[in-house]
Amino acid sequence: MRKNPNLKWLLLLATILVLLAVPSFFWMKKDNNARAERSKSLLSPVIMVPGSSATTERFNQLIAELNKTSLNRHSVLKITVSREAKLTYSGSIGKNDLEPFIIIGFENNKDGYANIKKQAGWLDVAFASLMQNYRFNNFRAFGHSNGGLIWTYWLEHDYAQYDADTRMTTLMTLGTPYNFTEKNLKNHTQMLADFIKRRSHLPRNLKVYSLSGGKSYESDGIVPETSVAAGKFVFQNQVKDYTSMIVTGKEAGHSSLPQNKQVIQVIRQYLLKKTDKAPKPINKGKDGH
């Protein structure tokens, strides 16, 4: 009796399909388990990005001040991303800490729009690693100076791929120069123009707080107030809530802003969960006021 050649090929095809289907099945099962685990997670980190020329040590004093009045001490994990996108970790997230601080810095921490784009890409590498390792379903972001620009570029270019699994609920920027050193709001730098062009990619349910320093009536000593205010062209009427504030006091200069007492108070009030023994709330002005 002659063998049917078609049957041979059908059996071969069936074998190939089974071999392909088995790993796919286990991958889908693993992915679904990860999603289920993430949806139940109570972890809600605050992820910080420093500005140009700053390292992951930039927020040490700020975090120390916040922990002085914290009922539950915030642990700190620091990640430095190399030029080759390799990650170096220091510190750790406490076992029972549901609101840790995670600081992401860059080996190449130079200024300039071209570098901000690169840093946003490195931020994405670090964020993807955090998602895989800790599986949180929401987080809050903080950026000082260019750190706010890096977050904004990342939100407009990379955030959408994570939106189904995790949600940025709040972005707080501090002394962030959305128009670089340009003082005239009518003159948009290429970076600001690009941010405005892609603003529709920002998450609609995001709350944004933009803080600027009031060392003088015009700037924090480095960044013009009008450059910080230019952020309204990016966020207003695009996100859920956009609030701008000017902080003053002894440490209202650009480099000193993370240590400014008003800034620390604003972070407690609007960025952290209500578990800290915060001072009396301060008033805020909305939509650029």
In tens, the pLDDT along 248-265 reads 877 889 999 999 999 999
| Overall pTM surpassing 0.85 (yes/no) | no
Residue 208's pLDDT is: 98
* Residue keyed to tokens 């890096």: 150
Contacts 24+ apart (CB under 8 A), 192-201: 192/230, 192/233, 192/234, 195/152, 195/153, 195/156, 195/233, 195/234, 196/233, 196/234, 198/156, 198/157, 199/156, 199/234, 199/235, 199/238, 200/238, 201/155, 201/156, 201/157, 201/159, 201/160
Q: Span 185-193, mean pLDDT?
A: 97
Alpha helices by DSSP H, the chain: 5-39, 60-68, 113-134, 146-157, 190-197, 225-229, 232-235, 261-266
Report the C-alpha gap between 81 and 104 in whole angstroms: 7
Report the C-alpha gap between 116 and 146 in whole angstroms: 8
Q: Which of 176, 166, 162 is nearest to 235 (CA)?
A: 176
pLDDT at residue 5 is higher than 70: no
pLDDT at residue 9 is higher than 80: no
Q: How confident is the model at residue 31 (pLDDT cuts 50, 70, 90)?
A: very low
Q: Span 44-72, mean pLDDT?
A: 95
What percent of the chain has a predicted confidence (pLDDT) above 70?
85
Per-chain mean pLDDT for the chain: 88
Q: Which strand (E) or helix (H) includes residue 75?
A: none
Q: What's the pLDDT tens digit per position in 193-237?
A: 999 999 999 999 999 999 999 888 788 889 999 999 999 999 999
Q: What order of strands is seen across the sheet that includes strand 76-81?
A: 87-91, 76-81, 101-106, 46-49, 138-144, 167-174, 207-213, 241-247, 285-286
Residue 37's pLDDT is: 53
Residue 2's pLDDT is: 52
Residue 287's pLDDT is: 44
Return all residues near 249 (Cβ < 8 A) that are at least 6 apart: 260, 261, 262
Q: Span 44-73, mean pLDDT?
A: 95
**Contact by Cβ (8 Å): 155, 203:** yes
Cα-Cα end-to-end distance for the chain: 90
Q: What's the pLDDT tens digit per position in 74-132?
A: 999 999 999 999 999 999 999 999 999 999 999 999 999 999 999 999 999 999 999 99
pLDDT at residue 32 is higher than 50: no
Residue 22's pLDDT is: 60
**Contact by Cβ (8 Å): 238, 198:** no
CA-CA distances (angstroms) from residue 56 to 117, 139, 212, 270? Answer: 19, 19, 21, 23
CA-CA distances (angstroms) from residue 98 to 42, 69, 76, 82, 168? Answer: 6, 16, 12, 28, 16
Residue 285's pLDDT is: 47
**Contact by Cβ (8 Å): 38, 135:** yes
Residue 98 CB neighbour total at 10 angstroms: 16
